[in-house]
Structure formats: C-alpha cells, structure tokens
C-alpha cells in the first residue's frame, strides 16, 4: 500500500482517495498499485456496493509523477503496467465505480477516471491528455475509452493537441456523466452513491457488463497497442526532450527521433 492513498469503507461504499496534494496528487508506481489493490479488494467484499475514486486538494491528479520518470528506464513501464491493472479492474469490477473528479485529471489519472462507470466532476475541473507534450502517446486505455465516449474527431483533438477540456464541455461532449458547482460536488456524489448502493446489484452488474461489451469490445487490444507503442516511445529523443522541457519550463523542440 501507499501512504498517499487512503482506503476507507463508508457504509456500502469503498472510497479510494489520492492524498498527495502538495504535488497535485501526482502518481508514482506505489500509489497506482495501491489503487489497484483497493479496487480488487472490493470484488470479494459483499458489503461494498459501490466504489468511489477521488482526489484531495486542488486536483484529482496531475497524472504520472514526472520526477520518477527520470529515475530508471524500467520505472515508467512498471507504472504503466499498474495503471492498466487499475483500468482493467475498474471496467471488469461487478459493481459500479464512480470517479469524483474534484479538479484537473491529467494523463494516466484522466485515463483511469474515464474508465469509471459514472464520472462526476466539479465545474472547475478539467480533463487533459498531455502525452504529446512529452513525446508520448495516450495510454491507460484512453485510446479506446475516449473514442467510445465522444467519437474519433474529439478523441483525436484531445490526444493530438493535448488541450484541456473543461468539465462543462466534457459533459456536453458526452465524455462524463455529471457536473456540479464546486461546493455542491460532495453532496451530488453522496446522492449518487446512496442511489447506486440501494439499487439492484445483480442488474447493475449485468448492465455494466453488457454496455462495456458493446462499447469497449477491443479494450484489451487497445491496452496492448498502447503498451507496445509507449515502451518504444520511452526510449526516444523526443521523450527525453519533453521531460527536459517540462523541467526547464520551456516549449519542447521535437526532432522526430
């Protein structure tokens, strides 16, 4: 487990909270593994009827902790593997998963949030796939989940340009399910959790399985393509340049190599 991930049972709901606000809940491998383990624990717990994934402070999560990407060549791959484990568990879990997005959700954290069954966002929140700024491609299954939600043109815009999508626009596009004024987000989440927990668990499980089968039939293929492509991109000059530019606070100069 990780000291930066809180796991708490509140009545029929399992709450998983990212708690590293000093760095906008940036994710390292241990945090992602802890989230995966918590999600998996819900599978065998009959008392848990719904799972909530959220962040604390100003952000849901800024995505992968870029400082760790410089520590070792294999570390980004291990973090990506852990993130894929999270996405597989969220999609495959036989009970509803709600992402309560309290602020910006970026990178792999955005991918994880968008894999949830309900995505509830504060009005000030935004969704960002900034991978191209680092010479990388989208991962965490987002090449499948985003396109399934909002279609190819919007998915291409988010992924290729790396532009943030504010929560109200994300709702209008069909990327997320609910938006609330920031002060009202906790109350909305509580209402939805109560409603889901009181619902017919067997029917909810069947509905989730059917809709995911219809809309994400190629998720495993997408995860495999992302894994292969990202592993290759981790070794490129453009990725190193993206990290250097981020650290220096400048625009990257990519050379296509």
Q: What is the mean pLDDT of residues 163-172?
A: 98
Instruction: Characterize the bridge pairing of strands 5-10 and 50-55.
Output: unpaired
Q: What is the mean pLDDT of residues 220-226?
A: 98
Query: CA 112 to CA 142: how far, in whole Å?
Result: 8
pTM for the model: 0.95
- Token look-up 């009005």 returns 123
Q: Count other Cβ atoms within 10 Å, centred on residue 6.
A: 16
Percent of the chain with pLDDT over 90: 92
Tallying the residues shown for the chain, one arrives at 257
Q: Tell me 21's DSSP state.
A: G
Beta strands in 117-225 (DSSP E): 118-122, 126-128, 165-166, 178-180
Mean pLDDT computed over every residue of the chain = 95
Residue 61 CA, distance from chain mean position:
8
Report whether pLDDT(66) > 90: no
Phi first, then psi, for residue 66 (nearest 5°) are -65, -20
pLDDT score of 217:
97
> What are the tens digits of pLDDT across the range 89-117?
999 999 999 999 999 999 999 999 999 99
Query: CA 1 to CA 210: how far, in whole Å?
Result: 32
Query: CA 166 to CA 124: how far, in whole Å?
Result: 7
Q: Give 11's pLDDT tier (boundaries 50, 70, 90).
A: very high
Q: Count other Cβ atoms within 10 Å, centred on residue 181.
A: 10
pLDDT score of 145:
98
Q: Which residue segments constitute the domains of the chain, with CATH numbers given?
A: 1-182+201-257 (3.90.226.10)
* 96: nearest Cα among 236, 222, 198: 198
pLDDT score of 74:
46
> What are the tens digits of pLDDT across the range 17-51?
999 999 999 999 899 999 999 999 999 899 999 99
pLDDT score of 125:
98
Report whether pLDDT(251) > 90: yes
Write out the two tokens for 218: 């190629």
Q: Give 57's pLDDT tier (boundaries 50, 70, 90).
A: very high
Q: Tell me 211's DSSP state.
A: H
């Amino acid at each position: 487990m990780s000291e930066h991930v809180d796991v708490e049972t509140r009545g029929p709901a399992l709450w998983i909270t990212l708690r590293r606000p000093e760095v906008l809940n940036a994710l390292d491998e241990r945090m992602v593994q802890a989230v995966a383990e918590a999600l998996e624990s819900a599978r065998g717990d009959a008392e848990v009827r719904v799972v909530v994934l959220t962040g604390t402070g100003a952000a849901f999560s800024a995505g992968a902790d870029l400082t760790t990407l410089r520590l070792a060549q294999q570390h980004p791959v291990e973090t990506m593997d852990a993130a894929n484990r999270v996405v597989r568990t969220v999609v495959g879990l036989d009970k509803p998963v709600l992402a309560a997005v309290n602020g910006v959700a970026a990178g792999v954290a955005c991918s994880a949030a968008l894999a949830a069954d309900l995505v509830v966002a504060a009005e000030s929140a935004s969704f960002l796939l900034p991978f191209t700024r680092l010479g990388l491609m989208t991962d965490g299954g987002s090449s499948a989940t985003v396109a399934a939600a909002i279609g190819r043109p919007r998915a291409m815009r988010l992924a290729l340009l790396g532009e943030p999508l504010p929560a109200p626009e994300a709702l209008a596009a069909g990327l997320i399910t609910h938006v609330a004024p920031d002060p009202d987000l906790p109350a909305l989440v509580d209402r939805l959790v109560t409603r889901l927990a009181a619902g017919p668990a067997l029917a909810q499980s069947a509905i989730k399985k059917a809709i995911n089968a219809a809309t994400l039939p190629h998720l495993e293929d997408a995860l495999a393509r992302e894994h292969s492509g990202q592993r290759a991109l981790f070794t490129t000059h453009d990725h190193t340049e993206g990290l250097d530019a981020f650290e220096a606070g400048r625009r990257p100069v990519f050379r296509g190599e």
